[in-house]
Chain A
Amino acid sequence: MSNSLDAYLILSGILFSIGTFGFLARRNAISMLMSIELMLNAVNLTIIAFAAFGAFGATAEGVSRGSVIALMVISVAAAEATVGLAIIIAIYRNRRTPLVDEYDAMRQ
């Protein structure tokens, strides 16, 4: 099983759908952010699996080409988490609630 690409892809598909469920179903803004992190990790696992099984070229250079993309995704995810949490804290300071369905100032 550890030498079949399908196993890793199905695993990351399951992780991605769990993240989708969390993003759609949770009311807390930070829970939604954690679900986004789960989905980003699923995508990263897909990239690494494809790279390890030779989708970017069946050499060591091909594997490292894919891994560079994964490293970039990790650093972009770090930036995204920073700004997202800062936005949530700024909204929380004004509205005094972390629940997204009470952020309705732009609807009125």
Chain B
Amino acid sequence: MFRVLVPILIAMAILGVVTGIAALMIVVLGQDWEDALLWILSAVMIGSALLVVTMRDIIRCGLAMIVCFGALAGIYVILGAPLIGAAQVIVYIGAISVLILFAIMLTQTKDAPRVLVFQTQSAAAAVASIIIAVVIALAVTATDWGELSRHLRLDTNVLSAELFTDPGNLLPFEVIGVLLLAAVIGGVFLAKREPGGPP
């Protein structure tokens, strides 16, 4: 019983700390709701992404990935693109995550090694990825992007007019349709069990 409650208590403690920091930011620093929400969602997204790449049990990695995608959908909504957030929820959480969870359940055997989830070069990989993050951060802060002082909102009417009436979007739209059909057929063909083959 106690062992079951410990992760829940830890999760609630983390959630309380994050919410408290956000409330402090609103009350003390005088920031608005969008900033506080962005901080919370960013913390959830980065934390669950770290869990995805470091946890030992792969099915928990898949569940943490769902949390990461959900937080990213919230960030899209804060950015003023709720349609993209909805597409993120439908496609990533609803389709890709479920597909990945199914593939995990199909490929995990009981005798799969539970240790050695990392390659031997994981230390070098950590150094390389930290270097990538630092270089990106330096490049972003050092460049003047000429951006607007506050972000615009995505108008769904304008987006649909752009997507369905602009002749420049016609060819990519049709190509995407053919690509999805090819992916469905190819996926079925590749994962199909051949008669007389290995089970």
Interface members, chain A 92-108 (any B CB < 8 Å): 92-94, 96-99, 101
SS class, residues of chain B in contact with chain A: helix
Say whether B162 contacts A76, CB under 8 Å. no
Say whether A5 contacts B145, CB under 8 Å. yes
Interface members, chain A 46-65 (any B CB < 8 Å): 48-55, 58-65
Say whether A89 contacts B176, CB under 8 Å. no
The interface size bin for chain A is 35 or more
Given contacts A53-B148, A75-B176, A79-B180, contact A26 B136 (CB under 8 A): no
Q: What is the minimal beta-carbon distance from B186 to any residue of chain A, in angstroms?
A: 5
SS class, residues of chain A in contact with chain B: helix
Name the residue in A33, A35, A67, A90 with the highest tally of chain B Cβ atoms < 10 Å from its Cβ: A67
Number of A-B contacts (CB under 8 A): 268
Q: What is the minimal beta-carbon distance from B37 to any residue of chain A, in angstroms?
A: 8
Say whether B92 contacts A27, CB under 8 Å. no
Q: Which residues of A contact B132 (CB under 8 A)?
A: 13, 16-17, 20
Q: What is the minimal beta-carbon distance from B40 to any residue of chain A, in angstroms?
A: 12
The CA of A7 and the CA of B41, in the complex, are separated in Å by 13
Say whether A75 contacts B106, CB under 8 Å. no
Contact partner of A61 (CB less than 8 A), chosen from B84, B129, B162, B180, is B162
Q: Which residues of A contact B163 (CB under 8 A)?
A: 64, 68, 71
Interface presence of B67 (CB below 8 A): no
Say whether B46 contacts A15, CB under 8 Å. yes
Say whether A3 contacts B152, CB under 8 Å. no
Interface members, chain B 181-199 (any A CB < 8 Å): 182-184, 186-191, 193, 197-199
Interface presence of B11 (CB below 8 A): no
Given contacts A37-B92, A41-B69, A71-B84, contact A53 B147 (CB under 8 A): yes
Given contacts A26-B53, A33-B100, A38-B65, contact A54 B126 (CB under 8 A): no
Q: Which residues of B contact A68 (CB under 8 A)?
A: 159, 162-163, 169
Binds A, one of B2-10, B13-21, B116-124: B116-124
7 A-B pairs whose Cβ atoms sit less than 8 Å apart in the complex = A8-B79, A10-B136, A24-B125, A74-B88, A78-B91, A99-B113, A101-B119
Which B positions have Cβ atoms within 8 angstroms of A? 31-32, 34-35, 37-39, 42, 45-46, 49-50, 52-53, 58, 61-62, 65, 68-69, 72, 75-76, 78-81, 83-84, 87-88, 91-92, 95-96, 99-100, 103-104, 106-109, 112-113, 116-119, 121-122, 124-126, 128-130, 132-133, 136-137, 140-141, 145, 147-155, 158-159, 161-163, 169, 172, 176, 179-180, 182-184, 186-191, 193, 197-199
